[in-house]
Structure 1
Amino acid sequence: MKIYNSLEDFTPVANAVVTIGTFDGVHIGHRKIIARIEELAEASGGETVILTFFPHPRMILHPEDENIKLITTIDEKAQLLSQLGVDHLIITPFSRDFSNQSAEAYIRDVLVNKIGTKKIVIGYDHRFGKDRKGGLQDLLAHAPLYAFEVIEIPEQDINDVAISSTRIRKALLDGDIEIANECLGYPFFITGSVIRGDQLGRTLGYPTANLMVGEQYKLIPSDGIYAVKVKVEGQQHNGMAYIGHRPTVNGMTRNIEVNIFDFSADIYNKELRMEFLHFVRADIKFASLDELVVQLGKDKQDVQALLVIDSPQFNT
């Protein structure tokens, strides 16, 4: 897959089969749409093009909303789309100027002149242009003039996309990892750099890799203990993850840590990917560190038992 960081970087291709959206999470609903454009491209000898936006439009149009969290970062989304066989991904820098184009200008300048659209797969509720006044009817009206075909995504499929996105975010925030993974079609994961912590876990007998996620907009699951698989330096390992403020020691910051089983390599400053498979328990404040250590022993047993189950493997 070729990635373009602006429309200006893209050269129109022959028989471009296009769809547009944020595709946050690239979940099972999105994959139905992607499968459709791939079918159309194959039948017409064309190439698939996805037009997406970054920053997310809501971040620009509603900067006061600090609660906007996304299932995937832009890099994670690009990787997932690449694995689905998409030919071209255009990541358009979203701005107020971009949003203020008229519907006609958007169709003419972006879809036709910049992309060379021959087929566009779009939902009945897709909106574009100034004040979001443009939509499916505008595309249908301009299709004969610019010689492109409009393929409407069924309403049920569009509803499935919206429901899936909402359900995934809620499930992650509730610790319902199994539900989130079912809707995603793959295990939810986070990516970050391993940073040096205060090494409390080491003194307790459970050394952890502390993860720093650089993108503040990345959605992090609810606090607690999780059964995870970790990928670092090309190798996959089982582990027990912790998300929380470490209330037993009156911690002030929210930490993301993972105790990687049977692992002792120095991975400071390395990139680590963590795949969430099961929620084990919520975060708890213990009366003493001794009680915490006892519970961690039980947690590790629970995690190991869960990971024996035929859990889905990394496919990202």
Structure 2
Amino acid sequence: MKTHASAHTFTSTKGTVVTIGTFDGVHIGHKKIIARLTESAKANGWESVVLTFFPHPRMLLQKDANIKLINTITERGALLEKLGLDHLVVHPFTIDFSKMHAEDFVEEILVHALHAKKVIIGYDHRFGRNRTADISDLKRYGEQFGFEVEEISKQELEDVAVSSTKIRTALHEGDIKKANAYLGYAMMLEGTVIHGKNLGKKLGYPTANLQISEAYKLIPGQGVYVVRSFIDNTLVYGMMNIGTNPTVGGKEQTVETYFFDFDGDLYNKRLSIEMLCKIRGEQHFESVDLLVEAMKADEVFSRTYIQSIKD
């Protein structure tokens, strides 16, 4: 898969089949749409293209700093690549771009830049300045500029919307198993390991403190989780705490992971950590000794769970 930083930098010698959307989560509902896209492209000798935008339009137009996405733009790209997509176009969403008239968008972006021969899009899709154009307008432009429009039904889109809502709800509640079932893969947190306060080391559980730079990334609810990560090409399991560490007077939320049977130096390493199962919510213990006892119990639970999924 080729990733393009703008529609204007897109290059292909073939015609394309294009779909447009956020595709946050790239979950099982999205995968059905991508499958239609790639199958149509192969059947016609064209190439498949997902056109998405960054930053998310709500971040810019509604100044919605609180919007949280299941995937970072990098994670989204990696997931789409696994689905056999030919091209991912991440077009910059700017104020000027938001003011582009519908016909100009179709002619400049879909036709001239992306060489669209077919557009697969939702029945309720709206586009252009103030989102005034709809799918009937797109079909009219298709006749004008020579591309086909295939409509994604209301039921298919509702399935996608329901899945996205259920995934976000499950993640907020820390129900990782349910979220992963809808996603079709393990929820991941990606970031750089930074120096923390070394509290875990003092308790006998040295942790990797993950700094996630993307403020829009959805972090699951506070608690302790079973996780895994590939570290230097080796699959390593562990347990992760998301929370403020209230027992030791913590104030800011951190994402810290204790990796089992691992003693390498992780500082400044970039890790992608997959979340498998929630153990418990974050708790305030009356003493550090009680906290350590709970962490030992968490480890026993984690190792038992890990063995069960390996068998």
Shorter-normalised TM range: over 0.9
CA shift at 1:144, angstroms?
1.5
Cα-to-partner distance string for 1:18-62 (whole Å, 9 max, x where unaligned):
101011111111110100011101110110011000101111111
Within a 5 Å distance, the mapping from 1:1-316 to structure 2 comes to 1-63=1-63, 65-310=64-309
CA shift at 1:95, angstroms?
1.1
Q: Does the 8 Å CA contact 2:225/2:278 hold for their aligned counterparts?
A: yes
Distance change (3 Å), C-alpha of 1:13 and 1:161: farther
Residue identity in the other structure for 1:160: D
Determine helix, strand or coil for the equivalent of 2:214: coil
Cα-to-partner distance string for 1:74-103 (whole Å, 9 max, x where unaligned):
111111111111111111000121111111
Q: Does the 8 Å CA contact 1:17/1:118 hold for their aligned counterparts?
A: yes
Cα-to-partner distance string for 1:165-197 (whole Å, 9 max, x where unaligned):
111111101011111101111000011111111
Determine helix, strand or coil for the equivalent of 2:306: helix
CA shift at 1:234, angstroms?
2.1
The CA RMSD measured in Å over matched residues stands at 1.3
CA shift at 1:13, angstroms?
4.0
Distance 1:95 1:12 in 2: 25
Q: Does the 8 Å CA contact 1:172/1:222 hold for their aligned counterparts?
A: yes
Residue identity in the other structure for 2:71: T
Determine helix, strand or coil for the equivalent of 1:310: helix
Q: Does the 8 Å CA contact 1:13/1:115 hold for their aligned counterparts?
A: no
Q: Does the 8 Å CA contact 1:277/1:311 hold for their aligned counterparts?
A: no
Q: Does the 8 Å CA contact 2:16/2:49 hold for their aligned counterparts?
A: yes
Determine helix, strand or coil for the equivalent of 1:257: strand
Distance 2:110 2:12 in 1: 10
Determine helix, strand or coil for the equivalent of 1:305: helix
Distance 2:212 2:53 in 1: 21
Residue identity in the other structure for 2:15: N
Residue identity in the other structure for 2:30: H
Q: How many residues align?
A: 311
Distance 2:12 2:293 in 1: 62
Q: Does the 8 Å CA contact 2:224/2:240 hold for their aligned counterparts?
A: yes
Cα-to-partner distance string for 1:82-139 (whole Å, 9 max, x where unaligned):
1111111111000121111111111111111111100110001111111111121111
Amino-acid identity (%): 49
In structure 1, stretches of 5+ residues that fail to align are none
Distance change (3 Å), C-alpha of 1:88 and 1:18: same
Q: Does the 8 Å CA contact 2:8/2:109 hold for their aligned counterparts?
A: no
Distance 1:154 1:311 in 2: 40
Distance 2:176 2:100 in 1: 40
Taking structure 1 as the reference length, the TM-score comes to 0.96
Cα-to-partner distance string for 1:204-253 (whole Å, 9 max, x where unaligned):
11111110011111111111000111222222111010000000011021
Residue identity in the other structure for 1:119: K
CA shift at 1:143, angstroms?
1.3
Q: Does the 8 Å CA contact 1:26/1:77 hold for their aligned counterparts?
A: yes
In structure 2, stretches of 5+ residues that fail to align are none
Residue identity in the other structure for 1:162: A
Distance 2:117 2:213 in 1: 38
Moved more, 110-119 or 231-240: 231-240
